[in-house]
Chains A and B, each alone.
Chain A
C-alpha cells in the first residue's frame, strides 16, 4: 500500500462540520459544549447535521474511497473539497492551500485547473456536443478554441470514445455519458479528481467495465482521487484506502484489508460480512507467528510449502490443496509465521483465527 512520505497530503480535511439550517452556528456551539445528538439538534434548532467532525487526508496519487449509505453525508463531505458547500467549521486544505481562504476568482481558478469532478447523473450540457462538453473547463478559462477542442479529442480517446465527438449527449448510452463526464473532469489535467457516485446509476455489467477502465486510467495518470460510493464492493475494488461514513461521521478509515479484518464497530462489521475475503486478506493476517507455533509443534521447514507474507488467501488455498504440511510464511526469505489448514479455514470464514 501507499507509504506516507514527508510531503503534505494532496487533500486534507480537519474537523469539518456542516450543519444545514438558519441557526447552524448556534447549533454547532451547542453540539460542542453540550454534546447534543443529531435528533436533539433537529428538535431544538431545526438544523440538520450533514457532516460531523470529519477528518481525513488523501495522499498524492491515492484513490481514497468514501463509502456510506444514502444520507450518510458522503456527497456533502466531498462538495467541501471544491467548496460547492461551505463548512460550518473546520479546514480543508488542497496541498498547502486553505480552500476556504480563497476569494471568488482564486476559487474559480482552482476549480477549473486543479480539481475535476464527475457527477452521479453526469450533468452534461444537453445543448452541446460531446466534444464541447469535454472542453468546458478549458473554455471557462478562455483557452482558445482550436487548442481546447484538440485536448478534448485526446481525452475522449483516453476513455475510448473516438468517433463520438460530434454527437449530442442524449444520443449516448448512460455508460458512455459517464465516460464523457470522466473525460470532461480530466480535460484540464487536474491533480485531483472528485467522483460522486459516478457508476451508481449504471447496470452491473457496465459498472464493472467502467471500474476496470477507471482503475487503468488512474494507475497511468496518478491522480489523487476521492471516490464516493454506496457500494462496499466497489470501494474495495477501487480504493487504496476507504473511509466509512454513518450519519455524517467517519466511523473508520483503513485499507480494504483493515476494514475487513478489523471492522471498527458493529455497523462496519455488518457491511463487510458478505464480502469475499479471498483476494483481500493476506498471509500476514491469518498466520501464527513462527516462534509460538514451534513451542507446540515440531516442524521441518524445508519440507513445507512457502508463501510471501502478502500472498492472498486464494493463493494459500491452492498451496494447501497440493501439500499436507502447513504453509510457511516468508518475509524477504526469512520465515516469520505458519499458516495451518485450520487457520486458513478460519481466515476464510472471518472469525478470530487463533482460537
Chain B
C-alpha cells in the first residue's frame, strides 16, 4: 500500500519536474535525484560551455551576473596581456585563461544546485517562468553585448577615449538653475518681507519668554523644580542623576548657556508639536496626503542642514529665530510620523464600536484615536527633543548662542578639552529631558 502511494508521489513529482524542465529532462531528472540524495556537486557541461548564457536560458539571473563578472575579469586580464602593451606589463595571458577556466568550472559545478533551488521556488510560485526560452537567451546576449566590450576596453586598452571615463557634464545647466533659485530666494525675501518679519517677531517673543523663565528664575528655584519634576515623573534614581548633571552644569559654568539652549529646544519642540501633531493626524486620515507628505519628510530629514541655513538667513536674518526654524525643519518629521503611526495603530474594532454607538468623526478622533495614540505622540516629542539638541551646534553657526556656541568656539580655536566639556553638557541636557519624559511615559 505504502509502496503504491510513494510510487504515485514519485510519478507526480516526475510529471511536475518535466513541466518545469521542458528540455534535457532526462539529464536533469537524474541530477536532481542525485542532489536530493545528498550529492552536492556535479559538473553541468552546458553551464561550463555557455556560462552566463546557460544561466539566462534557465532564468537564473543571479548566477548569470556572477558568471558574467568572472568572465569580464578574466577577459580584462587576457586583453591586457594581448594589447595592453607597456601600460599593463604585469598582465599574463596564462593567468587570464586560468581564471576563466576555473570560474567556468566552479560555475558548472554549482549550476545544478542553483537550478534545483530555482525549481523549489517555482514549485511554491508556479507563475515563475520555467524551461528554456530563446527570448531569455536573447536578453542575456544583449546584456552581455552592452556590458562586456566597453568594460573590457576601458580597463585593458592603453589609451582610453575621454568620454568613457567621465560623464558628459554640462556645467551650464547647473549654474543657470542655481542662479534661478538665487533669484527666487531674493524675490521671496523682498516680496514676503512683512510675513517673514512677523514670524521672526513671534518666535523671538516666545524665545524671550522662555529664556526669561529658564534664566530669569533664580538657579536654586530652577534646580529644585527640575529635581521635583524628575521625582514626580521617574523616581529616585532619575533624581540622583539629575542632581549630578545639574551640579556639573553649575560648577563648570554652563548653567546660563544650558538654560538658554533649553529655551531654544523648548521653543522648537513646541512648534514641532503644534504643527506636527495636526499634520500627523491629517496624514493618518488621508492616505493621499500621507503619500505626498512622506517624501517631503524624507527630504527634511536627509537634506544637510547647512543647505537650508542659507535661505533661512536670507529670510529671517541671523540670530535665534532662524536657528529655531532650522531646528524645527530637522526635528519635526519624527513628531509627524509617530503621531500618524499612533493613530493608525488604534484597533479598527474600537473605531467600529465608536461608530456603532453613534460617534461623529470628531468624537472618534478626540475620544478614541488621540488618547490611544498618546504613548506614540510622547515618543514623538522625545525624538523631537533629542533631534533638536543635536542641532544646537549647527544653530550656533547662525548666532543662536548657548552651549552650541562653546562647542563651535572650541572647534575654531582647536581647544579639545573645552569642546569636550561643552559637548558633555549638551549630552547631559538631553539625558535629563529624556529620562523625565520617558519615565513619565512608562508610568502612565
Residues on A lying within 8 angstroms of B by beta carbon are 82, 84, 104, 107-113, 115-117, 119, 121, 123-127, 136-137, 139-141, 184, 188, 194
Contact = CB atoms under 8 A, between A and B. Distances in A.
Given A125-B371, A140-B363, 12 more contacts: A82-B356, A107-B358, A108-B360, A111-B356, A116-B357, A117-B353, A124-B353, A125-B367, A136-B357, A137-B357, A140-B367, A141-B358
Nearest to B364: A140
Interface majority SS (helix, strand, loop, mixed), chain B: helix
Interface of B: 347, 349-350, 352-360, 363, 367-368, 371-372
B357 A125 contact: no
B359 A108 contact: yes
A112 B357 contact: yes
B349 A123 contact: yes
Contacts of A116: 357
A123 B358 contact: no
13 contacts: A84-B352, A104-B360, A108-B359, A111-B358, A115-B356, A119-B352, A123-B349, A124-B353, A125-B367, A137-B358, A139-B367, A140-B360, A141-B358
A123 B357 contact: no
Contacts of B368: 125
Nearest to A181: B353
Contacts of A108: 358-360
Nearest to A132: B367
Contacts of B355: 84, 111
Contacts of A117: 353, 356-357
Contact of A109 (B353, B356, B358, B371): B358
A112 B353 contact: no
A137 B359 CA distance: 8
A123 B372 contact: no
B371 A111 contact: no
Given A121-B349, A140-B363, A126 B372 contact: yes
Given A126-B372, A127-B371, A140-B363, A119 B358 contact: no
A338 to B, nearest CB: 52
Contacts of A139: 367
A111 B372 CA distance: 23
A123 B353 contact: yes
B363 A123 contact: no
A184 B349 CA distance: 15
Contacts of B360: 104, 108, 140
Nearest to B351: A123
A123 B357 CA distance: 12
Nearest to B372: A127
Contacts of B354: 136, 140
A126 B359 CA distance: 17
